[in-house]
Structures are given as structure tokens and as C-alpha cells.
Amino acid sequence: MRRSLVVGNWKMNGSRDKTRALLGEILAGLGQLANVDVGVCPPYVHLPDASELLKGSSVLLGSQNVADQDEGAFTGEISAPMLLELGCALAIVGHSERRMVYGESSALVAARYAKAIQHGLVPILCIGETLEERESDRTFEVIGEQLDAVLNSSGVASLTKAVIAYEPVWAIGTGKTASTEQAQEVHAWIRAKIAKLDASVAEKIQILYGGSVKGDNAAALFSMPDIDGGLIGGASLDANSFLKICHSA
């Protein structure tokens, strides 16, 4: 049986004080979870504080992106070795806000993914279609292309060291969650696509759902057979909501 994973993507929110307060509340309320791993991805500048606070806890630390290079003249980028030094275990790559607001191509996302894998940082590869793409029946074409960029460069075996997050762009920050059936359909499609290349990798890969997951819809989403947890935006900034989601997994 696959373990569940719930990860908070804090995006560009908070402050040093808020990071300490939020993590304090999460650690106090989490308790022992039998089959669920929990992670948080604060902004880069708050990783050192978070790392210190999480020492000795089972909560995983993650970054919101990772460079496609190890070091050098790449202004504004943060490399996998730097993140590992701070205690990060996870790195989100290819979030739709990076793809759409900052123009990251699938090729660049694949290069970032490859660097994370090379250094032993677990990439959370985000894929998902826009509303326009869904309405023109291009959902599987779009997420297929996003997946292929990674499969063609890093190979299917790399997925044994990665996590996938299906995040329909139209559900992010909109309050419009995909229905459990809509999400399950895409998750099953992703797993079947991977199974065509390697059935055992497909069986093991954790596929998270992201997009307006809240305390009151998490349990239904997580009960679907191919949904192995969630990547949580807004609701991860409130300890009670995030804890409720973690306890639903």
C-alpha cells in the first residue's frame, strides 16, 4: 500500500515570525500519523528558521523550486546542494505559477527535476491543465506532454525517487475544487500512462492532488484509489485547516 503525503505550499506568504508561529502550531497538533507523511514548503528565505524548528520532528522540509544548475552565474536561482544543506528533502518543480507567470517551459522544468533527482532531493512534479485546455478536451494531451518532458530526459525509473502532483490550474486558489471523479479520472490516467512504461513504478508512485483542497473536502478526495494525498496552498497557511487535511489522509 502506498503511504499518503500531504505537503503545504506556502507560496510567497508569511514572515519569519509567522513561519515560527505556524510551524509551532502544526508541530503541536500533528500527533502520530500512521500512514501519512507531512511536509511544508516555505519561501526560500524562511527555510533556515523552518529547518531549525523542524529538527527532530518527522515533518519534511521542502522548497518551492530548485535550480537546473549546481552553481555559478545564475542570478536568483537556488541549487539542490544549497537546499540539501538546509535540510530540505522535497522540492516542488513545475508549479503552474512558475510555468504560467514566469514562463518556465516543460524543458526547463525537466532540467530542474533532473537536478533534484541527481542530488537526492525528491521533486514534486506539478502538472495540470488550464480551464481553456479542459474545455477544449485537451487535458490528457497537456499533462501527457508535461510528463513526457520528464520521462524523455530522466526516464521512468526516476519516478521511484519523485512525487507527482496533479493540479488543475482552474482549481488553484479559486475555491473550485475538481470533483472527486474528475480528479480520480486524471490520476488514474497518469498512473496508467506510467504503467505502460513500468508497472511497478506506476504502482508505487505517489500522485497528489492540488487545487482548493480544504478541511471539508480533503477526506473525499483522499479516499479515491489513485489520490495519494495533497499539495495544499491557501489552507496550509492556517494550522487548523492544514492539520484537519493531514488527519484526513
CB 188 within 8 A of CB 181: no
Are the beta carbons of 88 and 57 closer than 8 angstroms? no
Q: Do 214 and 245 contact (CB within 8 A), yes or no? A: yes
Q: Convert residues 83-112 into a mask of x (bound to ligand 13P by CB under 6 A) and - (unbound).
A: ------------x-----------------
Residue number, 78 or 232, with CB nearest to ligand 13P = 232
Which x/- pattern over 114-153 shows residues binding ligand 13P (rule: CB under 6 A)? Answer: ----------------------------------------
Annotation says 247 is catalytic: no
CB of 231 within 8 A of CB of 165?
yes
Amino acid symbol at 53? L
Site for ligand 13P in 176-235 (CB under 6 A): 210-213, 231-235
User: What are phi and psi for residue 42, nearest 5 degrees?
Assistant: -75, 170
- Select which of 46, 95, 97, 104 is catalytic: 95
Give the nearest distance from C-beta 32 to ligand 13P in angstroms.
25
> Pick from 147, 248, 120, 128: which is nearest to 201 by CA?
147
Q: Report the nearest approach of ligand 13P to the CB of residue 191 (Å).
A: 20
Q: Which of 68, 129, 133, 167 lies at the binding interface for ligand 13P (CB under 6 A)?
A: 167
The count of residues interacting with ligand 13P (CB under 6 A) is 14
Q: Which is nearer to ligand 13P, 150 or 166 (CB)?
A: 166
Which residue number, 212 or 248, has a Cβ lying nearer to ligand 13P? 212
Closest to 121 measured CA to CA, from 76, 179, 78: 78
- Of the two residues 211 and 229, which places its CB atom closer to ligand 13P in the complex? 211
Smallest gap from Cβ 197 to ligand 13P, in A, equals 26
- Helices (DSSP H) in the chain: which residue ranges? 16-30, 47-54, 80-85, 96-100, 106-119, 131-135, 139-154, 180-197, 199-204, 218-222, 239-248
Instruction: Establish whether 119 is a catalytic residue.
Output: no
Residues 6+ apart with CB under 8 A from 199: none
Q: How far is the CB of 157 from ligand 13P (least distance, A)?
A: 26
Positions that interact with ligand 13P (CB under 6 A): 9, 95, 167, 172-173, 210-213, 231-235
